[in-house]
């Protein structure tokens, strides 16, 4: 007999249980989970700890989510809801997409813990905020005369660049926060060793000994350079 195919396991595909006025709402649980993650990181998140912060037992949480993975799906969708998508009024498609990409980067860096869960197996991007984000971003590309299929590929390409870059940045900023040093202090402290290490390599040494840039600004400039080159490539796909 053929094996019956199991539905994808996700908080977005499981029907919500009917309940009479629960003491905690899903929104309250998600908001507190987000505060916990932002303040203490992904390692600190547990259903027991979250229940204690909400002055409720873990059982109360399980009325809304089956496990921690489902909770993370909800919180990730909440984070995506903070990304701003401008309209194209008074903007070109490139300007609008750039503004959205900058907003996405800022949101992902504000919630640095998310770097460790994006792309995680079992994380289904089916939430309403992700759907609204994708729908609105598609309109930006279609306003630039991309076909629907091309707009879909273009959207995926831009978000892959933003998420990949922001994930690397978030990991770096998390390391910095644990060190107790500012980004500029870390970079300035490392510079003498970098100059010494690059002496046998003339091109790297020339870069290492050049006039240093302010660390945070350099990261931002690097992000915008890469984004511009991605958009340059997408521009060639237009008639």
Query: Taking the model in full, what pTM does it have?
Result: 0.85
Range of the domain at 151: 93-235
Q: Are residues 54 and 114 in the same domain?
A: no
Residue stretches of the chain with pLDDT short of 50? 1, 3, 20-21
Tens of pLDDT, residue by residue over 44-76, are 998 889 988 988 876 778 788 878 888 999 999
Q: Are residues 13 and 130 in the same domain?
A: no
Q: Which residues contact 36 (CB under 8 A, 6 or more apart)?
A: 44, 45, 49, 50, 53
Residue 87 is assigned to a structural domain of this protein: no
Q: Is 162 helix (H, G, I), strand (E, B) or coil?
A: helix
In the chain, the number of structural domains is 2
- Res 90: pLDDT: 84
Q: Which residues contact 215 (CB under 8 A, 6 or more apart)?
A: 183, 184, 186, 187
Last residue of a domain, one of 30, 51, 80: 80
CA distances from 28 to 13, 32, 39 (A): 21, 6, 17
């922001």: which residue's tokens? 166
Cα-Cα-Cα-Cα torsion 95, 100, 101, 107, nearest 10 degrees, comes to 150
* Domain of residue 34, CATH code: 1.10.10.60
């Amino acid at each position: 007999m053929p094996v019956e195919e199991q539905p994808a396991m996700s908080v977005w595909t499981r029907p919500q249980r009917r309940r009479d006025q629960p003491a905690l709402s899903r929104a309250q649980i998600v908001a507190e989970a987000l505060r916990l993650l932002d303040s203490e990181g992904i390692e600190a998140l547990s259903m027991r700890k979250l229940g204690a912060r909400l002055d409720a037992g873990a059982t109360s949480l399980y009325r809304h989510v089956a496990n921690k993975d489902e909770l993370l799906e909800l919180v990730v969708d909440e984070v995506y809801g903070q990304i701003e998508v401008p309209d194209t009024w008074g903007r070109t498609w490139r300007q609008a997409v750039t503004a959205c990409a900058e907003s996405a980067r800022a949101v992902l860096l504000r919630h640095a813990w998310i770097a460790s869960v994006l792309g995680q197996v079992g994380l289904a991007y089916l939430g309403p905020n992700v759907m609204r984000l994708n729908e609105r971003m598609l309109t930006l590309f279609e306003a630039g005369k991309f076909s629907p299929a091309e707009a879909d590929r273009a959207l995926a390409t831009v978000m892959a660049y933003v998420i990949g870059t922001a994930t690397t940045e978030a990991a770096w900023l998390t390391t910095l926060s644990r060190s107790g040093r500012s980004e500029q202090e870390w970079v300035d402290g490392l510079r003498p060793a970098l100059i010494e290490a690059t002496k046998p390599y003339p091109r790297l040494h020339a870069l290492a000994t050049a006039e240093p840039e302010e660390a945070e600004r350099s990261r931002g400039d690097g992000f915008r350079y890469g984004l511009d080159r991605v958009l340059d490539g997408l521009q060639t796909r237009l008639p």
